Structure 1
Amino acid sequence: MSDFALPQMRRLKLSPTLSFYIARQFCGWFFGLYVSLAFIIFLVSIIDLVDRLSTQEKTPLSIVIEMALYRLPFFAQEILPFTILGAGMFTFWKLTRTNELVVARAAGISAWQFLLPAVSVSLIIGVLAVGVLNPISAVMLKQYDALEARYIKNRVSELSVSQSGLWLRQPEKGGQTVIHAQRAAQTGMTLQDVTFYVFKGEDDFVRRIDAKSAQLLEGQWLVRDAHVSVPGVPTTSEPELTLPTTLTSEKILDSFSPPETISFWNLPGFIRLLERAGFRATRHLLQFHKLLSLPMLFTAMVLLSASFSLRPQRRGKVGVILLTGVVIAFMLYFLTNFVFALGLSGKIPVLLAAWSPAGISLMIGATMLLHLEDG
């Protein structure tokens, strides 16, 4: 009697046709949700700006629309993880409902294989978000901040950091003082190698003060080793003098360019510039690594969406499954903000704060898929 062996089912490779079909379905849901959410955000932004500008006199509607458009790319970048999560859930739910994925799995194609097209698309979106959308968002958000400062806050930025050091503008009654320093001390608000340019009115130069250091105290600058130059008068030296000021350390730090207004490509140079000037660059470093982690986060969103949408409908109501996925997504969102706050406060390392949301999401999604596929 000859030996008889049962045929073994082999894992089939995902065909290019099926891969393209799944990717097309995912892209369709993604762009549909993305445009819809962006349009809703644009309308809400206009309403918010109209309310904020209602106290200002004669602000034209064109300015409101312009400000809303400038802010739109930033919000469009922020909603990307949720859009990818929603696109994945609707894509896999539809393919499961029509039994297309059931047939594919019966043919020997694993869940990991038919997830590959959606994961690939999410990685491409992540790279484009970091390399293309973020620079556009940064430039336009900076324009929005300028308009906001002009029409809503009625103030201008008081701090500028450049290769030549840092510049401060100190408004005063009847004039202004422009302060230039080579660097600042890491602890406290002490400027080193500092120069004060005192003006009466807009550009009527009064005097110049060069000093070794200037420490910001409550309501005044304490200037040490100062040399005072007045036009037409010999330079005098003062071991110590005080200058009145309306600046505070909080006001100065708030005048830094927000990390969201700096392009991903320019962030490393700006971080080095801040550190060389003597300031902490925690917020900007966190933003840089947060952007770097976006492709991983988007991949995690696809895995999470699949783990909630690939379950057979007989195991529970589809609405409950989708609602559970949305709840988990918002929990991760608030967890992300909490971890970022810990990183900004120095409770945990910046790298851990920036990468842990994406890493934790990826591990949760992969674990749930393993349980679904092999459990």
Structure 2
Amino acid sequence: MRLPRVLAVYVGRVFLVSTLSVLGGLMAIVALFDVIELTRRAAGRPEVPFGALVEITALKLPFMTIEILPFALLLGGLVAFWRLTRTSELIVARAAGLSAWQFLAAPVAGGALLGLVAITVVSPVSAMFYTRAERLDSMLLRGGAGTLGLAAGGLWVKQRDDGLARGGAAILHGERIAAVTPDRLTLERVSVFRLGTDDRFLARIEAERAVLEPGRWRLEDAATVGLEGMGPRERAMVLPTDLTVARLQDGLAPPDTLSFWALPGFMKVLEEAGFSAQRHRLRFNALLALPLLAATMVLVAAGFSMRPARRGGVGLMIGAGVGAGFALFVLTKVVGEFGVSGTLPVALAAWTPAGVGLMLAVAMLLHLEDG
């Protein structure tokens, strides 16, 4: 029997209302805890107004929406399908000759659509607002360190260098960031290693200061150390570059501050500049997998909540569904760390949670339909 359009619209509406209500509740809870944490961190800074802490949390809300969406779909689906089962609407639909797969078509499509909207529409807004939130957090609560930071061994940057050998490379290391403005970066105690096309060492430049300006590095009080020894010190040297302060900041910023559309281009920039793009690649693949994960969560919710009430154990099944959702969350984090470390391919690490959840949901629904 073909699914009536009125029934599909009704089931889809019940599911979406339940999911959006749960999503709103979860976001309110997470925002409350975030404000409490920010208030704790600002306890020793009386100059930081409470309104600024609320603003930081508000700017994080689009990012929280993407992170919470799969669990909102799971919990919202559990509530919606439990309600439809408790009121015997699902039983009537089955008696009319409809299978669970037909009944779930609208909710699954709605869940996948929410995931698609999250990555294509919410993600750019999330990246813009989250970047602003991180800057406010840095300026007010972290002493103005900014999004450009140093690793334990200083800042390392790799770029093209056609000065001594066509197609060569230059590796620049600065021990300390002295100043950062939107169009200028100043490093102190800088070493530049110039390499040939076969990674053969050609020369080293030692400078007291390096300033990144549009189109060039300006090396101050610099001397070149070649195979014949150290040359005379010069007041200024110029090293051409296509890097900018914005690109470096985006490269050192977490992938959460980049939108779905911007991630592919930035991953290329990161790799050309010598940074690791593993976390950004994992984030991009995780966003790609979000519509599938969203649809999977709907199927998981259905598998754990469509048990007829007369059989008993409905509460236990719904509790098991919530537990399955948290288990999937833990799996996502654990497998993601394997992907970042390079133990697993990034694509496999990003798509595994959705794949595992999908197999679990399909198995449960097949048992529910035919078992």
Q: Shift of the alpha carbon at 1:170?
A: 2.0
Cα deviations by residue, 1:11-47 (Å, 9 ceiling, x for unpaired): x100110000001001110111111111122221111
Question: Partners of 1:212 and 1:262 in 2: how far apart?
Answer: 39
CA contact (8 A) 1:195 1:209 kept: yes
Question: Partners of 2:22 and 2:116 in 1: how far apart?
Answer: 19
Cα deviations by residue, 1:64-114 (Å, 9 ceiling, x for unpaired): 111111122222211101100011111111111111111111111100001
Identify if the C-alpha distance between structure 1 residues 106 and 225 changes in structure 2 by more than 3 Å, giving closer, same or farther: farther
2:103 is matched with 114
Question: Partners of 2:204 and 2:255 in 1: how far apart?
Answer: 27
Question: Partners of 1:270 and 1:182 in 2: how far apart?
Answer: 24
1:17 is matched with 6
- The root-mean-square deviation of aligned C-alpha atoms, in Å, is 3.5
Q: Rg: which structure is higher?
A: 1
Q: How does 1:177-256 map to 2 (within 5 A)?
A: 177=188, 196=207, 198=209, 207-209=220-222, 228-230=233-235, 256=252
Q: Shift of the alpha carbon at 1:133?
A: 1.1
Question: Partners of 1:97 and 1:21 in 2: how far apart?
Answer: 16
State the secondary structure of the residue aligned to 2:104: helix
State the secondary structure of the residue aligned to 1:170: strand
Question: Partners of 2:356 and 2:294 in 1: how far apart?
Answer: 12
Letter in 2 for 1:207: E
Letter in 1 for 2:188: T
Identify if the C-alpha distance between structure 1 residues 195 and 127 changes in structure 2 by more than 3 Å, giving closer, same or farther: farther
CA contact (8 A) 2:250 2:266 kept: no
Identify if the C-alpha distance between structure 1 residues 272 and 171 changes in structure 2 by more than 3 Å, giving closer, same or farther: closer
Q: Shift of the alpha carbon at 1:171?
A: 4.0
Matched, 1:100 2:89: yes
1:307 is matched with 303
Q: What TM-score comes out, normalization by structure 2 length?
A: 0.78
Identify if the C-alpha distance between structure 1 residues 276 and 227 changes in structure 2 by more than 3 Å, giving closer, same or farther: farther
1:345 is matched with 341
Question: Partners of 2:13 and 2:194 in 1: how far apart?
Answer: 53
CA contact (8 A) 1:340 1:353 kept: yes
Q: Shift of the alpha carbon at 1:163?
A: 9.0
Identify if the C-alpha distance between structure 1 residues 206 and 270 changes in structure 2 by more than 3 Å, giving closer, same or farther: closer
1:245 is matched with none
1:362 to 350, 358, 365: 358
State the secondary structure of the residue aligned to 1:79: helix
Identify if the C-alpha distance between structure 1 residues 170 and 17 changes in structure 2 by more than 3 Å, giving closer, same or farther: same
Matched, 1:317 2:313: yes
Q: Shift of the alpha carbon at 1:317?
A: 2.7
Question: Partners of 2:22 and 2:79 in 1: how far apart?
Answer: 10
CA contact (8 A) 1:130 1:294 kept: yes
Question: Partners of 1:105 and 1:183 in 2: how far apart?
Answer: 72
State the secondary structure of the residue aligned to 1:274: helix
Q: Shift of the alpha carbon at 1:257?
A: 1.1
Question: Partners of 1:343 and 1:128 in 2: how far apart?
Answer: 26
Q: Shift of the alpha carbon at 1:182?
A: 10
Question: Partners of 2:125 and 2:191 in 1: how far apart?
Answer: 31
1:55 is matched with 44
1:293 to 289, 307, 325: 289
1:9 is matched with none
Question: Partners of 1:315 and 1:212 in 2: how far apart?
Answer: 82
Question: Partners of 2:249 and 2:230 in 1: how far apart?
Answer: 26
Matched, 1:269 2:282: no
CA contact (8 A) 1:289 1:351 kept: yes
Matched, 1:170 2:183: no
State the secondary structure of the residue aligned to 1:279: coil
Letter in 1 for 2:287: L
Structure 2: segments with no counterpart, 5+ residues:
161-169, 180-185, 212-217, 238-247
